[in-house]
Amino acid sequence: GVIKILSDNLDIHSLAILLRVNRFFAEATLPFLYAEPFRGHFRTLEGWTERRSLLLARTLLRQVLVDDLTPILRTFYFGHQDFDCSTDLVPAGDPEPYTPVLHYLHQIRNLFLDAFPRCELSCDHMAAFLKSVDLHSQYVADDLYGGVDPDYSYYFIAHAFREDIRRQLSWALCVPESVQTLSIAVSDSGRFLERVERFSRLSSVRFFFDKQHEFGRDWVKRMSPEAKVQELGFRGERRVHLETMVKFVREHTRIHKGILRHAICENVYHLQGTRVFCQICPEEYQMALLDCLPPLYNPKVLDTDNLRQFAFKFQETNLAFVKEFENVFADEQTMDFLETKGPFLHRCRSLRKVDIVTFSDQDLFEWAVQEKQEFDLLLSRGEVPETPLVPVEHVNIQFDREGYGPQIDSIAHGFGNTLDTLSVEWATSFNPFTELEQVPVAFGQFWNLPQLRSLSVKTNLAQLLLDPEALLGCPTLQEITLFDWVTDYTMMGLLPWKPACLPDLTILKLNGTAARMFNTDILHSSPKMEILNIGVGTNTVVDDIPDIRDILHLIPETCGVGFEQAAAGVEPAELPMLFPKWSWDWYLPCLRELFMTAEYALCFQFRMLRGTPNLETLSLDMQNTIYMDVHELERHEFTVDDLRDNDNDNNEMSRVKFIKLPKLINLQLVGSWNIGYEFWRTAFEAVMPNLLSVQESKCRGFDEQEWVSAIAVLPNLAKAYSSRYIWCGDPEIDEWTLRKLGLQEKDVEEEEDNGDVKEEEREVSFESEGEEEEEEEELAYEEVGQSWRPLMYGFGREPIPEADTFETEFRFEESNKVYVWQRSNISRSKAAVRS
């Protein structure tokens, strides 16, 4: 029990120590320690360095027969001067009693050498090493890339060298009578075929390509006639190796019936974006391997590793014990092949988790709805159903076809009694510049999901329409994430959600249509809320704030002057009465993070913060919106007078009580608000004194001196950022604006020098790209420079600990690349003097 716990926790150091206790501990520990000696995650453990991995390889190779210890293994693992070749892990005091016990090779059951121990060799060192073992000339002769492009020769030789070591190490460390899972080089199949009768326990074999026998048509076209003849010879040699591979599996299944359960030949892509070292196993040989294998034996998981084997033995496979089904990484060819076989999920009577990507319009869960209806009908008659429903708890599904709303309902209706997690996404990668209009995704009618804890639906460009009564049937929800990127529509036709009671709700993230259909009465019944994120749009397109007529329900009776003016011309009959009024007075004592964008940031009322004493992050972002009216934030919005029913008291500073947010450490305000110095000073002194990070952008009503003076009162501030834009119609720099801001013109020569440096850095960063892309990038840069609208922005850097000062910088950028700037260091003590 203790040894197994150490093995499960990957405590290799403790297991190695147990080998030295006594003979009995050694016998019990070895099967755990050496079951899979070269597991890839061992290298991530503290102390499991490449040196120790090489020592392990040497310990094992010392027990290899002399004939199997090839010159390349002997030289590579024992001839390198950087490592101690005399290290012996057998106790030196009394080795005799331990020697028979510590026969490590016989304990190896899983021999997958994907992470086999190796060291990095420089180009010159590697060439010298290969010549010492008479392999360099052989690799050069096999290199057909060098005749086309000499730059690839080094990569070819390095790859061939690595695979040669891997192939020989796999053969040397393999004890046929003990190994259960094994990786075999395709070119080495013949040697293993000669010993096939000894692999009595082998249950899984994985073949990998070690020799470069496929070069691709583009490379072959550029080869010399002699190289093309050699390439044809490689193709014939490769065909022989693949046939030997299939023969090994066929002979093993004939000799050791029912033992081998899994066999696959892996496709390999060694360099991304090219066909260099790319090796694809032909489909005919993959099918031949599957034909040799028996059906999967009572599988508990169907995933990428065994999905093809299941598809090949579709009817013979017993699926009654399958608990998980996953095809996220399966190729479309396999799924198309499975689809021709017919439905099969209904055969998985123990299914609990589904993680799939759909490749067709077929409703994969229609059978579950029918079973549920028949089940409920029998119960209504007082009968006991003979077959229980499939107890699916977790569903994660990605669609690549439109109109998948009914399938979401099929999942909810078919597994309503047990469903715990439902996650739905649009499988195709989102392109924010596409003009494709997708069919709206409507779902949620007649839901009854008493066990559902997490609901996540992301439709991207398709409008997400959740039924207004859907959440009434999900009383145990803890997390809700509903996203679409639709921004160009009005509130007409949208219905608000019914006010569901969700006492366990902790995370609520709504974007797009779901945010505009949200009923804030839900917040009154969600005291455990920790994260609230409500907004519209994406970071790549302009957020469309609707007309003021459509968002009046967000505005309380007492609001800023800008809202009063905007709503003055709205007739009472035009006001949208379907949506409940936002009161902004919810009590959310557990709320830690609050994010709002678009109209929700525009209409935000600070009175909401009275009910969020544990708030840590507040972010209001209108940066990408087209709504430019000013939203005034007044100091009284931080008071607690309304909450304490003291409206009749006078508003003298001595009588005002402010909201307290002692845990707030991150503040972000991005938008066209008009904020005065008194707001910042009151906020930082009385409301949120423990801020670590402050960011504002595009706000108005204060200057640089006031901003620095306000943030100077924050004792724990680590980062402050302030930026704004000034647009001028005159193509020349507005001297009055510069003089008012206190900015001074920067030395043009210095700027040109900096420009040259920046240009050099830009060229270096893009030197790997094609010349055509560089020309396009340069053209775009020139087009931007022709704009006649100057841009002014500024930012505050981190405080300087030694000087106790803040360093701020403001820039004014114009089309002719003339920069005007100013830096000022304002000490914290001087800034605090201002009141």
User: Which tens digit of pLDDT belongs to each residue from 466-487?
Assistant: 999 999 999 999 999 999 887 6
Which residue's structure tokens are 């059978």? 367
**Better-predicted residue by pLDDT, 492 or 596:** 596
Predicted pLDDT at 68: 74
Q: How confident is the model at residue 320 (pLDDT cuts 50, 70, 90)?
A: very high
d(CA 456, CA 619): 22
CA distances from 122 to 125, 127, 151, 194, 384 (A): 5, 9, 16, 37, 73
Segment 751-758 shows an average pLDDT of 47
pTM confidence score: 0.73
| pLDDT band for position 295 (cuts 50, 70, 90) | very high
pLDDT band per the 50, 70, 90 thresholds, residue 795: very low
pLDDT tens-digit map of 89-130: 333 334 444 444 456 778 788 887 766 655 555 556 666 777
Q: What is the pLDDT of residue 580?
A: 76
Q: How many C-alpha atoms does 744 have within 13 Å on its Cβ side?
A: 5
Instruction: Choose between 63 and 27: higher pLDDT.
Output: 63
Could you tell me the pLDDT band of residue 523, with boundaries at 50, 70 and 90?
very high
pLDDT at 751: 42
CA distance 422 to 208: 38
pLDDT for res 276: 55
How much is the pLDDT for 2?
66
Among 439-448, 705-714, 805-814, the range scoring the smallest mean pLDDT is: 805-814
The band of 823, judged by pLDDT with boundaries at 50, 70 and 90, is very low
Q: pLDDT at position 470, please?
A: 96
For residue 732, what pLDDT band results from cuts at 50, 70 and 90? very low
Angle, CA of 635, 795 and 629, to the nearest 5°: 45
Q: What is the mean pLDDT of the chain?
A: 73
In angstroms, the CA 611 to CA 588 distance is 5
Of 241-255, 557-571, 805-819, give the lowest mean pLDDT range: 805-819
- Cβ neighbours around 69 below 10 Å, total: 17
Model confidence at 747, in pLDDT bands (50, 70, 90)?
very low
Q: Residue 63: pLDDT above 60?
A: yes
The gap from C-alpha 574 to its chain's centroid, in whole angstroms, comes to 45
Predicted confidence at residue 428, as pLDDT, reads 58
Beta-carbon contacts of 591 under 8 Å, excluding residues fewer than 6 positions away, are 529, 530, 531, 532, 612, 614, 615
Q: Does 143 score more than 50 pLDDT?
A: yes
Task: List the single range of 79-83, 97-101, 159-163, 628-632 with lowest mean pLDDT.
Answer: 628-632
Mean pLDDT, residues 654-681 taken together = 82
Could you give the CA distance from residue 632 to residue 624 in angstroms, rounded to a whole number?
19
**Residues 641-646: contacts with CB under 8 Å, at least 24 apart:** 642/607, 643/585, 643/607, 643/610
For residue 618, the surrounding DSSP H or E stretch is strand 617-621
682 pLDDT exceeds 50? yes
Strand partners, 721: 695
User: Above pLDDT 70, what percent of the chain?
Assistant: 63
617-621 and 262-265 as β-strands: parallel, antiparallel, unpaired? unpaired
Whether residue 803 is predicted with pLDDT greater than 50 in this model: the reply is no
More confident residue, 326 or 807: 326
Tokens of 499: 């006010």
Give the pLDDT confidence score for residue 79 in this predicted structure.
Answer: 67
Separation between Cα atoms, residue 146 and residue 153, nearest integer Å: 5
**Site of tokens 């579709």:** 314
Task: Please tell me which of 88-102, 447-461, 533-547, 756-770 the model is most confident about, judged by mean pLDDT.
Answer: 447-461
Q: Which is more confident, 70 or 763? A: 70
Which pLDDT band, with edges at 50, 70 and 90, does 810 fall under?
very low
What type of residue sits at position 464?
L
The region of weakest confidence among 192-201, 475-484, 537-546, 757-766 is 757-766
pLDDT surpasses 60 at 375: yes
Residue-level pLDDT at 566? 42
User: Which residues are CB-contacts of 343 (< 8 A; sequence separation ≥ 6)?
Assistant: 364, 367
